[in-house]
Amino acid sequence: MQRTHRVQQTRGYHFCPWCAARLLGLLGARDNCPRGSAEIRVIGEGVVYAAPELIAHYVEAHNYAPPAEFVRAVLASRA
């Protein structure tokens, strides 16, 4: 999903805020912290959703639950 839907690429990147906070103070911790530099776009019914490139990481590693409409659009785009 992420590689084919990437848009709004930035000149820098941001670290996962939850992983970065957990690893704060550890030498080289940011090297192991997920980072993103774009958004993804997912087309739903009459709407286009935008999300950070790291959204899959947020769901898998931090149990983030995106809005149900977004999840339906993601699943429909895989069909």
Model-level pTM?
A: 0.72
Residue 25, pLDDT > 90, answer: no
Each residue of 44-67: pLDDT tens digit?
Answer: 999 999 999 999 999 999 999 999
Residue type present at position 52:
P
The per-residue DSSP string of 9-48 comes to: --SS-EE-HHHHHHHTTSTTGGGGS-EE--EEEEE-SS-E
- Which of 7-16, 26-35, 36-45, 46-55 bottoms out in mean pLDDT, i.e. has the lowest? 26-35
Residue 2, pLDDT > 50, answer: no
